[in-house]
Structure 1
Amino acid sequence: MKWLVIVLGLMVAIGAYFGYRNFLAPVAATPTAEVQLLPQASISSSIVSAEGFVVPGRWAELSFKVPGRVAEVLVKEGDTVRAGQLLARLDNIEARAAVIAAENAVKQAEANVQQAEADVQQAQTGVDRAKAALEVAKAALLSAQAQLAQVKRGATPEQIAQAEAAVQTARARLNQILAGARPEDIEAQAAVMLKAEAALRRAQAEYDKIAWADNKGESPQALALEQATLDYQAAKAQYERLKRGPTPEEVAIARAGVAEAKAALAVVKAGPTAEQIAVAEAAVVQAEANVQQAEAGVPAAEAVVVAAKAQRASAQAALETAHSNLDTARDKLADYDLTAPFDGVVSHVKIRSAEVVGAGIPVISLGDNSTWYVDTDDLSELDIVSVALGQQAVVRVDALPGKEIEGIVTKITPRSETKRGDVTYTVTIELKNADALPLKWGMTAFVDIQVGQ
């Protein structure tokens, strides 16, 4: 209801203003001081005069794109602002919350894409492993088939020769043990023992030199003494074994080696048994089953890759959607800010903090005062036919008495307006060298357009 009252009040005020302007306001007299300097016939034929208002080279009535409550007004009338500068802002709590939610959604979508990419890599690794397992299974099958063929074929001459050689080696070992050590071997070992004993004495002497030290156990002399002791004990044990001769246990072990070699030779010469063939055949059957299982594993692993890639594509699409939603949320948040579209001066601020404004309703007027123009207000249809683009003009401003400003016609409105019952056209004159003048937006100006050129 409050809004309705405000809107009706604005409409009544605007109607009263235009009624006064068109029907009740007195018509301003055109200055004639300078005109009297020329003959009347020359004036009427070479100059067209009109009244107008000073306007900036570029101006705009700025409004918010969305309705809302004014949170802050950051400029005041007369402030110079730069393009993009924030002028006013509406309460944007909900819009900022939407941006934060959209940013979080983007982060989650990015994490999902990373996880999906990792899943694809893991699935691809599964394919590589499945293919490797297939190759291993095929190699195992070839080995099992080769083993079965060998079992069925029996021992080769080379294998029989190897088994016979093993028997001869075992017999030679037994004979050597039964014969005992030769005198020369005992003498040679005695010499080794004596050498080791001498080395032990030298090591003991070196160790005795540092026996008083606290850390003697970790010294190089202690390690050398320990090694010399071990060498001497080993040499002595070997000497005593040679001198003593073989023990019953050593003879028994050698005889068992001969018997084992003979048994192996007998097996080789006898050929494969039915049981050995059955075992080899079972190994082939198992290897074939392993190959079939490995072959089935490859397409299964590849299917996992396809599914993982589809999930990745879905995650990437979701990320694009999340980015789009974030852009939309940021654009909506920006609608709550009113910024300067160009460099200029704030001429009118129509809002205050805490007020509620509607979308599209002008709230701040901004003008670019780097250049100035005059828009005529009362140029009649009889005079407009004489005006052309590029014609020179002389402009006088009430606020600057005695000051004449050069100008040039830059725009002619092709459509008329009816003001106070008269048909008028608007002509725009660009003022030259006016940047240093104290001109203000809306000042009254009088224009003489030189149409006789």
Structure 2
Amino acid sequence: MLKPKIILPLLLCSALAACRSVGGAPTPLPTVVLETGGSPAQLQGGVTASGVVVPAREAELAFALGGIVEVVNVAVGEAVDAGQVLAELENAELLIEVGRTQRNLRELTSPAAVSAAEQAVVAARQKVDDTQKKVNALAYPRASESLIDNIEGQIELAREELAEATEDFRDVEWKEHDDPERAAAVVAMTNAQMHLNQLIANVNWYKGKPSDLDEAIAHANLDSATSALQEAEWHLAALNGEPIPAEATGTGLAELAQAEDELAAAQAALESTRLVSPIAGTVVAVEIAAGEYASPGEVLVVVDDLSRLLVETTDLSERDVPSVSIGQEATVHIEALDQDLPGRVTAVSQVAETLGGDVVYKTTIELESPPPGLRPGMSVEVHFAAPE
């Protein structure tokens, strides 16, 4: 392609020089037509685009919150595992908070706490049984006929005792109030009256029926006891690691949930001070050192997964992208290695980018057999085979 571009000025200069060297009217020159040939894409059919070798996965890592970097654990070129801590911010206070919330949760879930929860369940069940018996009793007479007959008999005896005590008092009523005999008679008479009153009240209650208020109170007590038992059972289940429904309630359960939430929040805050690699790979960039301030969102460490490399186009134009589709075969020329490798399109971006004023679309190609020596960042030329 370069040869015609070089020869063309020489031919034109020679022709012009020849014309000027000859006297008289200039002799008309024939039209020069250059057969420069087509582009590689046109020659082979299909579409050609430039590209670059990229890792299949890359992690650009930044802290969500700003702070002073306490330690950087890696350097460029080091291999790292997924989950490995690459750098940490100063976090002494957060470590203390995590320890506090852990201790609090341990106290709430200790063997002693479990034992107390078990006892609470037993007590709550007994309370339910007691209140249930009281509710059941509302449907039955308050006393048997024999008991009522017994009390009525006691009432008759009490009436006789009261009559005798009253008669005795009348015999000494005329005496002075501070007279011992008169005082004893008063006490005997009033005691007999109170005893009779109590017996009459008892027999009336035994013969009567529960009021609406009595029934309402009994059922309310049973509902309260049943709810308390359910909450005690939920609390015990949570302590034993058993599943509980989302609607579960109770003071013990609320305290446990709050302790768990506080611990989770403290741990999340601590984790936000640690830069953790989400993938296994190789560190390709470290842009921070211990003692420096890390701004929120600033990329500080980059990890690439070099075990699998792909090719991405950089200048596939909007005119050519309709000719490219997923699964299409492609030939990739690795310029640094001077090799042509077969590949296949695995992705075509639906989002346009702008390159030097041109609209381009990124396309991803997976090589069938990546050669030794292939590195991220190497330049390539990609030829997409013409659709059949």
Q: 1:309 pairs with 228, 238, 248, which one?
A: 228
* CA distance in structure 2 between the partners assigned to 1:400 and 1:371 by the alignment: 18
* CA distance in structure 1 between the partners assigned to 2:128 and 2:150 by the alignment: 26
Task: For residue 77 of structure 1, report the CA deviation from its aligned partner.
Answer: 1.8
* CA distance in structure 2 between the partners assigned to 1:128 and 1:376 by the alignment: 77
Check conservation: 1:412, 1:426, Cα contact below 8 A.
yes
- Identify the residue that residue 417 of structure 1 maps to in structure 2: 353
- Identify the residue that residue 75 of structure 1 maps to in structure 2: 74
Task: Quickly say closer, same or farther: Cα 1:423–1:315, change in 2 above 3 A.
Answer: closer
* CA distance in structure 1 between the partners assigned to 2:333 and 2:124 by the alignment: 84
Task: For residue 96 of structure 1, report the CA deviation from its aligned partner.
Answer: 1.8
- Within 5 Å, give how 1:38-77 maps onto structure 2: 40=38, 43-44=41-42, 46-77=45-76
Check conservation: 2:41, 2:48, Cα contact below 8 A.
no
Check conservation: 1:123, 1:308, Cα contact below 8 A.
no
Task: For residue 102 of structure 1, report the CA deviation from its aligned partner.
Answer: 1.9
1:431 paired with 2:350, answer: no
Deviations 1:245-276 (A, max 9, x none): xxxxxxxxxxxxxxxxxxxxxxxxxxxxxx9x
What amino acid sits opposite 2:279 in the alignment?
F
Q: Describe the SS at the equivalent of 2:332.
A: strand
* CA distance in structure 2 between the partners assigned to 1:54 and 1:129 by the alignment: 79
1:440 paired with 2:359, answer: no
Task: Quickly say closer, same or farther: Cα 1:437–1:120, change in 2 above 3 A.
Answer: same
- Identify the residue that residue 259 of structure 2 maps to in structure 1: 322
Task: Quickly say closer, same or farther: Cα 1:330–1:424, change in 2 above 3 A.
Answer: same
Q: Describe the SS at the equivalent of 2:323.
A: coil
- Within 5 Å, give how 1:376-415 maps onto structure 2: 376-401=313-338, 403-415=339-351
Of structures 1 and 2, the one scoring higher in RCO (CA 8 A, sep 6+) is 1
- Within 5 Å, give how 1:282-297 maps onto structure 2: none
What amino acid sits opposite 1:90 in the alignment?
L
Task: For residue 56 of structure 1, report the CA deviation from its aligned partner.
Answer: 0.8
Task: Specify which structure has the higher proportion of helix.
Answer: 1
Q: Describe the SS at the equivalent of 2:94.
A: helix
Task: Quickly say closer, same or farther: Cα 1:85–1:127, change in 2 above 3 A.
Answer: closer
- Identify the residue that residue 384 of structure 2 maps to in structure 1: 449
Task: For residue 44 of structure 1, report the CA deviation from its aligned partner.
Answer: 0.5
- Identify the residue that residue 304 of structure 2 maps to in structure 1: 367
Task: Quickly say closer, same or farther: Cα 1:60–1:127, change in 2 above 3 A.
Answer: closer
What amino acid sits opposite 2:355 in the alignment?
K
Number of paired residues? Answer: 285
Task: Quickly say closer, same or farther: Cα 1:339–1:284, change in 2 above 3 A.
Answer: same
Check conservation: 2:101, 2:262, Cα contact below 8 A.
yes
- Within 5 Å, give how 1:248-263 maps onto structure 2: none
TM-score of the superposition, structure 1-length normalised?
0.50
Q: Describe the SS at the equivalent of 1:104.
A: helix
Check conservation: 2:62, 2:300, Cα contact below 8 A.
yes
Check conservation: 2:51, 2:382, Cα contact below 8 A.
yes
Task: Quickly say closer, same or farther: Cα 1:333–1:282, change in 2 above 3 A.
Answer: same
Q: Describe the SS at the equivalent of 1:330.
A: helix
Check conservation: 1:113, 1:316, Cα contact below 8 A.
no
* CA distance in structure 2 between the partners assigned to 1:415 and 1:128 by the alignment: 69
Identity of aligned residues (%): 31
What amino acid sits opposite 2:85 in the alignment?
L
What amino acid sits opposite 1:331 in the alignment?
A
* CA distance in structure 1 between the partners assigned to 2:306 and 2:65 by the alignment: 28
* CA distance in structure 2 between the partners assigned to 1:75 and 1:381 by the alignment: 42
Q: Describe the SS at the equivalent of 2:260.
A: helix
| Structure 1, unaligned runs of 5 or more | 1-28, 30-38, 132-137, 153-274
Task: For residue 409 of structure 1, report the CA deviation from its aligned partner.
Answer: 1.8
Task: For residue 450 of structure 1, report the CA deviation from its aligned partner.
Answer: 1.9
1:333 paired with 2:252, answer: no
- Identify the residue that residue 265 of structure 1 maps to in structure 2: none
